[in-house]
Structure 1
Amino acid sequence: MQNLTAHYNILFNAKEILRQKQVGYAASFVDNYNELLSVYPDTIAQSGTPDKDLEEAIVKANKIINIKEQSNYQGDAYLVLGKANYLEGNYFNATEFLNYVIKSYPKRPDLVQDALTWKARALMHLNELPQAKIAIDSAIQNIDPKKNKQLIADIYATKLQYDISVQEYTDGEEMAKDAISHCSDKMQRLRLNYILGQLQELNQKPADAINSYSKIASSNVSFEMAFNASLNRIRIEDARDGIKTDRTQRLMALLKEPNNKEFKDQIYFQAAELQMRDKNIDGAIKNYKLSVRNSLSNQNQKGLSYLRLANIYFKNKADYLTSKKYYDSTLTTLPLNYPGYQAIKKTNANLQLLADGYQTIAREDTLQALAKMDEKARNAVIDKMVSDKILEQEAETKAATAAASVNESNNILDNGADLLDNNSAGSNAGAKTGRVGAKSLSSSGNSGGSSFYFYNTSAISQGYSDFKRKWGNRKLEDDWRRSSRSNSDITANAVNIANTDPDALITGQPGANPKTPTAGGYRAELIKGLPLTPELLSASNIKVYHAYIDIANFYRDILGDKKEAASIYETILSRFPNDANKASIYYNLYRLYADIDKAKSDNYKNILLRDYASTPFAKIISDPDYAKKLEDENAEFTQAYNKVFDLYAQKKYSEVIAGVPQLIKQYPGNKLSAQLYYLKTIAEGHNEKVAPFTDSLQLIAKNFPDDKLVTPLVNQQLAYITANLADLQARPAILIDDNPQEIPFTLDRALRKETAYRPQVDPNTINQPQVRIDRPQQIAIEKPRQTPQITPAILPPVKQPQVIIKQVPQLPAPVQPPASQPEVIAKQPEQAKQPEVIAQQPAPVTPVTTPPVKQDTLPPPVKRDTIAQTVQQNVVIKATADGSEIKPDVVLSVFTMHDSTNYYFAVNVKSGTTNLASSRFGFGQFIRANYPGKGIKHQLLPVGADNQVIYVGRFPSLADVKKYAREVVPLLPDIMKVPKDKYSFFIISQENLNKLADAKLLDSYLDYYQKNF
């Protein structure tokens, strides 16, 4: 009886869930026909939220394992667990379950073959290609021609995917043919035929490729595949016959065919793609927009067109505001499981950072080019730039006027809609309003066959009536629901741009910002920025260099785009061949190319070992113990720094004065030298007059001009001394010994003639410096402090390249080891390092261990994490296999996103005993230097026994606290005197801060923060 219910009820339904999920994934998969297609479109980038359907399949499999333990379908249940985890993106877990099937059920060759196939696919996603080859080779060796043909087809298809991954196209062609000959699924067979055509084209077999593409073009595959197959066939035929093909013209001809009416969006998209390859940017933009306009029901196509437009306006047009809008549209149109969706989301969230970098580069390049011209040519170019700027602003004025007209039209439509309330069906005005008001919805709905509810014209009319009854006659504009608001309507009064006055406003946009530059001001700004001297040219190059570093680090650390990051680093090498930091750049390139181009990686490695053997970067490569040695050295320096700070906190100034030179001599070149000299100077200020104290401050400013933490504060203090010199000269000692944590002479008091002023640096005054992304990533490994004294927390280590230990997998023969219990590894939330929206958390390393068990011992069922009872619900919508919406998954959270005017920047330190005095002192320095007189303080909040949160604020808006975060995050290694893996930062409102009662709630908030900010 257990066999009957397990097989025909539980197992059947679980397999059906997996089948439907694969169909659904395949339906939403977006193919890139410019590259080799993926063999399997059924597993794609996951959103990180558990899938309700797959969770149900897992529950059913566990039911067989735990309740139907006497049935013969235990192995099938474990296979379901492996496949479900694979489809959910949990590839480590999937591999463990599949390994268990392979090792525990050798007498079930069908299960073993299926498990080997899925295991190989999971390993390829984990980039474990050697291990994947072992698995798929084992499956091929054990093929039984008399068994399930579809399973044989899957084995060959998986080997085909492996061959594509390692670029073995000749063998891949044979695997594709074998898979096609055994495949019983018609659509999969056609997909394999298309891939076969691509491989034959790569293998220089044009006749065979034409034959394969012809089969696709004449079949009933999707339009995209048939369309691209036809294009490829035509291209190959014309290339073979020596005909130069105008592919764009061929595409435009397809628009005239009635059968292609529903595919206009895709035709325009393909035309735009061709124009992009031909560098016709404006033509591509036009056709991408036409694609969007004609995408009535194909949301994937519309999303792709939005994405292309966003990238063009960002990279080619440098129009970041427009780019931002298109990225927003992309995110609302593409499905969450679109490959690269998370990267697009991160790019959009951090667009301003990238925009600032590219704008800096473009501006400095323009100014340098102008500086190289003779004066006559330069003035002519500047005249042209000013004229272009005027024309650009004039176009914006016209657009603004048009927008105002549209708003007026909408208001008229609202008035017309009022007639619907009076049932005046015979009224021409009312009928017209009903038609026009519904035009954008009903026309697209009817054409695209969409089932969207509000494409119903009667529903639209009813909506007009209900809205009018409740809200009255409201104009379509921002904040329409507010009865009292500042009206920023744009009038139609245009400014005469042709004004001959050189100081006439460049912009003619009504309601322009009063700070809008004038034509004369814009010209003066350009002339002032020209790097006409060697010193100015050097300063300009430094700005460009730092901007490139910021952009490269962003692609590397936030987007994880190794290819783009490597490209930017190589640009730095070509533009700055004499860069003193070339070793660091080479190390980054060595690490970035390790997984994408081994030859380039080895080349940069050899350059480091040959030309920069004495640098830490080369030593990390050649000496496996170097990182441990550096860790010990950093820990020693941290201890020594904190001892000096403790002496200062205890007012032992003479010992501070004697200890700082010894520490600097013992650790020359350490990155906290400016802070050490500053501590020494303040200690000396308690026993000396103003003149030597001023000299010491000036020496710090001179020797550390690029320091972002101490030098700005020193300059403010020098300004105060200059303004109050006579009063300060009368003091026996310039600093009065009231509070050893003082930061004297801050800017907010600098202009006041007060002789007895001595501000206190109570660890409650913190602000953040101008933020720049760190230079190429460097290693920093430190041990946590052991002594919970007054001593401040551990000093951030000297920046060195990050050590990445990668184990090269060995290639054992495909032997069947003893069975072991599959270990489930919980998927960790994605980490990031950027100031904008991602909280940094140290990611614990969980080694995979598989303790041996007896052959007849069943592993325990998978335990799923429970969610604590909460208040707010965040909804995630998913689609079933047929594309219809299912009931949303609910992610519950006690935290809220309510509008707030109380925001804080917070740093969580994973230690309940570490003394954070020196870290808070660093925050105080930054606040005094960069946010004087703003009322911003830093405070300490213990959270449970093992966490301390330094929170800085209050900030009146989310934009303000994000600006602060962007400025302070790059300086955290200098501010925080604890190891980098011991702290993380985030943004939090006062309401949510009050809820952080223990470590569990803190962890919950960090997860909530990553998903919502």
Structure 2
Amino acid sequence: MENYAINSLKITLFIFCSSILYACSSHKDTAGSRAMQNLTSRYNYIYNSNVILIEHQQELTEGYADNYDEILPVYVSPEKYDIFNSQPSESMPAMDEIIKKARVILLEKSYGNYVDESYLLLGKANFYKQNYFNATEYFDYTAKTFPNNKKSYVQALDWKARSLMQLGKYSEAALVLDTLSITISDLKNNKADPLATIAQIYIHQRMATEAIGALKEALNANPTGAERIRWTYILAQLSEQQENYPEALFYYRKVEKSNAPFEMYFNANLNRIKLNAFMSGVKINKQDQLLALLKDDKNEDYHDQVYYQVAETYARDGDYDQAKKYYKLSVRNSTKNAYQKGLSYLKIADLNFKHFRDYRGAKAYYDSTANTLPRTYPGYELILKKNQNLQYLTDRYEVISWEDTLQSIAKLPEQERPAKINLLANPIVEPVKTTETYAMNTFQPGYDNRTKNTNASSSFYFANSNALSTGFNDFKKKWGNRKLESNWRQSIRSSAQETIQDINKSYSNNGKVAANPDSLPVTVPDTESKVKLITAAVPLTPELLAISDQKIIDAYHEMANFYLQELNDPKEADEIYQILLDRFPNNNRLASIYYGMYLVNKTLDPAKSEMFKNKVLKEYASSTYAKTILDPSFSLRQSEMEVTVNKQYNDLFDLYEKKDFNAVIQRVDEVLKANPENYLAPQFAYLKAIAIGRTSHVDNLTTEFEKINTSFPDDKLIVPLVKEHLAYINQHLEEFKKRQIALIDFDPNEPKFFGQQFPVTVAVKNPVAENKPVKSEKNIETPVIPKAVTPGKPVVPVKVVGIFSTAISSIYYYVVHVADASLTLSSSRFGIGQFNRGNYTENNLRHQLKEFDNDQLIFVGNFGTFDDAKTYAEGINPQLKQIMKVPANLYKSFIISKENFEKLSSKDILDKYLEFYKNNY
């Protein structure tokens, strides 16, 4: 009997276990199968996956460095997606385990009640892996498939919005959150997280009032302890931003009394002291309260923030000297917070820029700011722009400093000059400590650390490449891009110091530019060479002094215009204009200076403005400045007129190329009769003259040329060319008189628009009015304009950026870039040929065309040095308005070496060179 009972129990247990196994293993929709799937899904998969997610979020929060100088993010999330740099995490074991568990539910337990949660798990795992596109799709599918499951539906919308924000798609996220806000209005539980997400979109949209309301609702919806503290701190920040200081103070105190992380506690305490002082209006005590925090050992790592807040209180009171002092202390005491150091650099730069008007000092601090703050900092691009613009001013200060130094030497008695020059060539400087010099050298990229042990783990600092790299980066963050030179800490130097640095900074052993500017050490030429260099630059003759003065005049004038037009600083512009007038009361920029003084004093000093207005109208009545004062719309009408005149000229030039010379003569007469003072009148007259030369005797041609000389005596483009033509005709007058038609050698098969060549033996033909080379009896390689030595100008180090280099070349081109490939440039190239023949008769200048898809380059060469090309540019640039028959906003000019020019193969590369040219030349 007992055996029977035992056997019956075994049979029953076997059937029960078999049933369980069948229910578990069979993927079908039965009551038993659903019950078993729900049981295993909930405890084996969902619960464990949520535990992994919570642990991962805690790890993410603990490793995240909050920036308390900005509104904290509501949630600590992975990095945002960057289309250029972001790479989704290929392997995250914890998230991969969640994905695996979720897929088991979908594949084997799809008849249970946890399919919606498995899709949510897939979305969250992809979110933390930074696969935000995939996460968005999973959350979107969940929301659309399970709209009746309110808990899953709300979670899906919430996390979909978070994923879209990580992708930067804030407008799409806002639409999702609009739907979410309607949905959660009826919920009683689980509202904290979605309300916080809604607050986050408001923060991004700078809707602080709405964000505060959403966060307050989220705090009332029973969030976790850590979330409650974080959201309370954000409420305090938002209230402070809204200038609701009592409420901000209330929330900061709540954070202080909570179990907040120490850094959050410290910042809440710091902000509480700051707001208390600000609200009380006590000016003596508030800095002391902040500085008292320095006495607490726990705050050792936060001294930089304390000094920063002290500086902020001084800045708010208008005590900018004290503010600058404490910002510098903040920089000096920054041990781990690079963001805080960058903010302090930025504040010092802004003080120098806005209040002290120390633009060179501002340039140095903006440089350090750009090297320290992350590129994601709001306004980072503006910082870079300021940094680049201030280089423009620095360059001109250096020109003035250099020329002033040379002129001061020229004023000395002759017997005293050698001693001064020798002092400049061989300055007496205090020796730098050996360790500091060595450290400076080794901080530089490219320094060859020839030590026996180069292992990174070496305990000797200078044998450890990783330590050196870190040291150099730290140096660069603190000091910016400082050059290795004496007194390198000084951002502003005397003119003598600057001259010494300019001379010493750029020579290798043979007096040539180093191939790699970062290679150190760089030796300077011998004292005798430097003495000769400086002596040659001293302006001892009236002609050289006039050239030196003009460089100073141009530098001051460009600086004043920059302050006025770019920096919008009329006060500084007025000071520079006044300095220029005081030093050079009879300079060649008076019309422009008087007009600038009229503009800057409109608000500063109306009476002074009126005085300069009258000076412009009286002394320069025919100038553009006077016409603009009398008629503010003059410039606009002038631009419209120039477009019309350019079109008329281009149409006439087309007729000339078609050899319809009679039509050219007739149309020119019509144009000049209707508008005799148009700015291209000399060129119209010249086109008529050479058309006459194509159809009649030389006497008629010379008559027209003489008319041009008489009618346009101040023209610098056509008149020099006409004088050259007349000289040539007079030299070969008998040959010309034998002809019935003066200009007969028009050969369409010859390449047009080349400047004249002057080889050894020339077959004499008439080159008048031809844009083609005079033929030689043998092929001679195109010579290069001889290199000219520019005395006193130091050689600058080679700079390499990408594929471009400032290395010295044997050939340079002057280039006019036209940003429209559809324009015909024949007439413009004809004008360049006119300028070349009138001003560079004996040089072998050619001008040619290079085309891209949407751009054209007219390049002129060959020049033997950069300075030769620059001299050419200084001559032709003032004439470009008359030469280029295209709108002024479509062209710009630059200089380029042959090596760099050959790399210009597309518009993108051209744009990169233009940026390179702007920054380095």
Matched AA of 2:664: V
Q: Tell me if structure 1 keeps the 8 A contact 2:122–2:138.
A: no
Conserved? CA contact 1:22–1:42, under 8 Å: yes
Q: Secondary structure at the match of 1:159?
A: helix
Number of aligned residues: 695
Aligned position for 1:151: 194
User: What residue number does 2:516 align with?
Assistant: none
Select which of 887, 899, 917 maps to 2:826: 917
1:50 alignment counterpart: 84
- Say if 1:149 and 1:728 are closer, same or farther in 2 by CA, change over 3 A: farther
User: In the alignment, does 2:848 pair up with 1:939?
Assistant: yes
User: Could you tell me how far 1:257 is from its partner in structure 2?
Assistant: 4.1
Task: Quote the residue 1:406 is aligned against.
Answer: 432
Residue in structure 1 matched with residue 156 of structure 2 by the alignment: 111
Match of 2:906 in 1: 1002
Q: 2-side partners of 1:420 and 1:274: how far apart?
A: 50
Q: Structure 2 stretches of 5 or more lacking a match?
A: 1-26, 28-36, 108-114, 148-152, 402-407, 412-419, 443-447, 454-458, 475-503, 514-521, 570-596, 614-629, 775-781, 783-799
Q: Is the 8 A contact 2:847 2:860 kept in 1?
A: yes
Does residue 209 of structure 1 match 2:225? Answer: no
**From 359, 370, 376, the counterpart of 1:337:** 376
Query: Structure 1 stretches of 5 or more lacking a match?
Result: 88-92, 363-382, 387-393, 424-432, 449-476, 494-507, 554-567, 582-610, 619-629, 703-710, 766-872, 875-892
Counterpart amino acid of 1:549? Q
> Is 1:646 aligned to 2:637, yes or no?
no
Question: Which has the higher mean CA deviation after the structures are superposed, 914-923 or 69-78?
Answer: 69-78
Q: TM-score by structure 2 length?
A: 0.53
- Read off the aligned partner of 1:696 and give its amino acid letter: I
Q: 2-side partners of 1:963 and 1:52: how far apart? A: 48
User: Bigger CA drift: 1003-1012 or 238-247?
Assistant: 1003-1012
Deviation at 1:435, TM superposition (A): 8.7
Q: Which amino acid aligns with 2:198?
A: I
Work out the CA distance in 1 between the residues paired with 2:893 and 2:361: 30
Contact 1:906 1:950 in 2 (8 A): yes
> Secondary structure, in 3 states, of the residue corresponding to 1:53?
coil
Return the letter of the residue paired with 1:645: F
Q: Which amino acid aligns with 1:140?
A: S
- The change in CA–CA distance for 1:205 and 1:677 in structure 2 (over 3 A counts) is same
- Match of residue 693 from structure 1: 705
C-alpha separation in 2, matches of 1:121 and 1:617 = 47
RMSD: 7.6
Match of 1:713 in 2: 717
Is 2:292 the counterpart of 1:292?
A: no
| CA deviation after TM superposition for structure 1 residue 940, in Å | 2.6
Question: What secondary structure is seen at the aligned counterpart in 1 of 2:87?
Answer: helix
Cα separation, 1, equivalents of 2:686 and 2:57: 67
2:668, 2:688 within 8 Å by CA — same for their partners in 1?
yes
Alpha-carbon distance change, 174 to 279 in structure 1, aligned in 2, over 3 angstroms: same
Which residue in 2 is equivalent to 1:200? Answer: 239
Aligned twin of 2:664: 656
> 2:565 aligned to 542, 549, 555, which one?
549
Percentage of matched positions with identical amino acids: 27
**1:693 aligned partner, one-letter code:** F
Distance 2:76 2:684 in 1: 58
In structure 1, what is the equivalent of residue 182 of structure 2? 141
Is residue 721–residue 745 contact of structure 1 (8 Å, CA) maintained in 2? no
Give deviations 1:100-127, integer Å, cap 9, x for gaps: 87997684554344445666898886xx
Structure 2 distance, partners of 1:317, 1:988, is 38
Contact 1:201 1:209 in 2 (8 A): yes
Deviation at 1:154, TM superposition (A): 0.6
Q: Please give the per-residue CA displacement for 1:734-789, whole angstroms capped at 9, x wherever unaligned.
A: 9966679999999x99xxxx998758645999xxxxxxxxxxxxxxxxxxxxxxxx
How far residue 176 of structure 1 moved from its aligned partner, in angstroms, is: 3.0
Counterpart contact for 1:120–1:136, Cα < 8 Å: no
Contact residue 363 and residue 390 of structure 2 kept, 8 A: yes
Q: 1:305 to 1:42 in 2, by over 3 A?
A: farther
1:458-537 equivalent positions in 2, closer than 5 A: 515=537
Scaled by the length of structure 1, the TM-score of the pair is 0.49
Amino acid aligned to 1:406 = V
Q: Following the alignment from structure 1 to structure 2, what is the Cα–Cα distance between the partners of residues 80 and 316?
A: 51
- The offset of 1:919, in angstroms, is 4.2
Distance in 1 between the 2:449 and 2:129 partners? 56
**3-state SS of paired residue (1:142):** helix
CA distance in 2, matches of 1:221, 1:1010: 52
Conserved 8 A contact 2:184-2:191: no
**2:352 and 2:359 in contact (8 A); partners too:** yes
Q: C-alpha offsets along residues 269-293 of structure 1, whole Å, 9 cap, x if unaligned?
A: 4444444455555544444444433
Aligned to 2:205: 162
Provide the C-alpha distance between the structure 2 equivalents of 1:658 and 1:349, rounded to a whole number of angstroms: 52
1:595-652 CA distance string (max 9 Å, x none): xxxxxxxxxxxxxxxx99999999xxxxxxxxxxx9xx99998765433121233454
Contact 2:755 2:771 in 1 (8 A): no
- Residue 340 of structure 2 is aligned to residue 301 of structure 1: yes
Spell out the pairing of 1:224-243 with structure 2 (5 A cutoff).
229-243=268-282
How big is the shift at 1:51?
1.8
Q: Which position in structure 1 is the counterpart of 2:217?
A: 178
Identify if the C-alpha distance between structure 1 residues 85 and 906 changes in structure 2 by more than 3 Å, giving closer, same or farther: farther
- Aligned partner of 1:265 in structure 2 is 304
What is the CA distance between 1:678 and its match in structure 2? 5.8
In the alignment, the residues of structure 2 paired with residue 954 and residue 712 of structure 1 have an alpha-carbon distance, to the nearest angstrom, of 22
1:239–1:361 distance in 2 versus 1, CA, 3 Å:
farther
Contact kept? 2:195, 2:218, Cα under 8 Å: yes
Q: What is the distance in 2 between the residues matched to 1:905 and 1:937? A: 10
Provide the rounded CA distance (Å) in 1 between the counterparts of 2:424 and 2:509: 28
Q: Is the 8 A contact 1:549 1:569 kept in 2?
A: no
Displacement of 1:197: 2.5
Instruction: Tell whether the 8 Å contact from 2:845 to 2:862 is kept in structure 1 after alignment.
Output: yes
Cα distance between partner residues in 2 of 1:286 and 1:574: 33
1:697–1:718 Cα contact (<8 Å) kept: yes
Amino acid at match of 1:658: Q
- 1 CA distance for matches of 2:427 and 2:671? 66
Q: Displacement of 1:926 after TM fit?
A: 6.9
Q: CA deviation at 1:215?
A: 3.5
Determine helix, strand or coil for the equivalent of 1:244: coil
Change (3 A) 1:341 1:965: farther
Aligned residue for 1:658, secondary structure, equals helix
Q: What residue identity is the alignment partner of 2:431?
A: S
Deviation at 1:177, TM superposition (A): 1.6
Answer 1 or 2: which has greater helix percent: 2
Offset at residue 917 of structure 1 (A): 2.1
Q: 1:288, 1:309 within 8 Å by CA — same for their partners in 2?
A: yes
Partner deviation per Cα, 1:670-701 (whole Å, 9 max, x = no partner):
98777656645665677646675355367557
Which amino acid letter does the alignment assign opposite residue 141 of structure 1?
I
2:184 match: secondary structure: coil
For 1:848, the equivalent position in structure 2 comes to none
2 CA distance for matches of 1:15 and 1:1010? Answer: 51
C-alpha separation in 1, matches of 2:197 and 2:847: 60
Separation in structure 1 between the aligned mates of residue 676 and residue 142 of structure 2, nearest angstrom: 58
What does 1:728-739 align with in structure 2 at a 5 Å threshold? none
| Structure label with greater radius of gyration | 2
Cα distance between partner residues in 2 of 1:24 and 1:660: 81
